[in-house]
């Protein structure tokens, strides 16, 4: 699961944390003030770390699917956090602030030797320009921007469980099919499933095909599914198609 790491536990962080949890991010909140970094304030977070920012970031390490939002109470803390994050791995880093504050932080980053290309990748001021004013609106603008970045990268999918069944994996996607290449569903011998390849009639048919494959003794297969037909039956204009690979485990 992708991590959303919020540097700062203020009002905007609180709104962003609630939204991120609904969007299936593993939320981590960092603040060096106990009144802002505690479980009562952030019950939805996987981790709440009350510690100096750099100490907390060092303890977390960095991963290629980490999303960072810097929302501290001052540009000195922002600068420290940004420098530490840019030296590691990340999928996204955004920083709140006025144009003057952002310019000052970026000047310091240039002085530290970060390249223009690296700094151009920082989303700052953070969030989509939707005229957000309140903490809730700013939180929405931030998560909307993160959703856009995540959509371009593709979701970080967990590995399928190592148990008997038929692993159904999307290997091709065309048009507006809801799930992308690499999405999987494990169909157990009893017909129960783990994961999803998009739901609806196509997923139901893929499940039946998986059970038939299991009964036949065949070890693998590849099948195509046209979502446009199912969408038309429901009066929808979306559709597309997928090709799924079946592997008996």
pLDDT tens column, 4-40: 999 999 999 999 999 999 998 999 999 999 999 999 9
Per-residue tokens: 153: 């990268």
Confidence label for 152 from pLDDT (cuts 50, 70 and 90): confident
List of residues 6+ apart from 44 with CB closer than 8 A: 17, 18, 21, 27
pLDDT confidence band for 234 (50 / 70 / 90) = very low
Q: pTM of this prediction?
A: 0.69
Mind listing the pLDDT tens digit for each residue in 176-203? 666 778 889 999 999 999 988 987 888 9
Q: Report the DSSP pairing between strands 66-70 and 3-7.
A: parallel
Predicted local confidence at residue 237, as pLDDT: 44
Task: Of 149-158, 198-207, 238-247, give the lowest mean pLDDT range.
Answer: 149-158
Residue 86 and residue 106: Cα distance in Å, rounded?
12
Whole-Å CA distances, 42 to 3, 10, 102, 135: 15, 11, 27, 15
Strands 184-187 and 193-195: antiparallel
Of the candidate ranges 77-91, 120-134, 172-186, the one whose mean pLDDT is the lowest = 172-186
HSE of 246, CA atoms in CB hemisphere, 13 A = 25
User: What's the pLDDT band for 80 if we cut at 50, 70, 90?
Assistant: very high
């Amino acid at each position: 699961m992708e991590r959303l790491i919020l540097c700062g536990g203020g009002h905007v962080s609180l709104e962003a944390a609630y939204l991120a949890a609904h969007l299936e991010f593993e939320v981590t909140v960092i603040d060096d003030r106990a009144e802002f970094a505690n479980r009562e304030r952030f019950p939805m977070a996987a981790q709440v770390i009350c510690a100096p920012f750099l100490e907390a970031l060092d303890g977390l390490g960095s991963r290629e699917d980490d999303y960072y939002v810097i929302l501290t109470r001052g540009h000195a803390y922002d600068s420290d956090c940004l420098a530490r994050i840019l030296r590691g791995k990340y999928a996204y880093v955004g920083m709140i602030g006025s144009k003057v504050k952002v310019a000052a932080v970026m000047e310091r980053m240039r002085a530290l030797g970060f390249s223009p290309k690296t700094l151009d990748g920082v989303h700052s001021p953070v969030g989509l320009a939707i005229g957000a004013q309140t903490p809730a609106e700013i939180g929405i603008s931030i998560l909307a921007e993160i959703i856009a970045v995540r959509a371009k990268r593709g979701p970080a999918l967990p590995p399928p469980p190592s148990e008997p069944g038929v692993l159904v994996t999307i290997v091709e996607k065309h048009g507006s099919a809801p799930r992308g290449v690499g999405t999987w569903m494990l169909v157990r011998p009893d017909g129960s499933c783990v994961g999803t390849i998009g739901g609806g009639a196509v997923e139901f048919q893929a499940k039946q095909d998986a059970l038939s494959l299991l009964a036949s003794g065949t070890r693998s297969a590849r099948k195509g599914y046209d979502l446009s037909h199912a969408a038309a039956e429901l009066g929808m204009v979306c559709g597309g198609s997928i090709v799924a690979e079946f592997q008996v485990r």
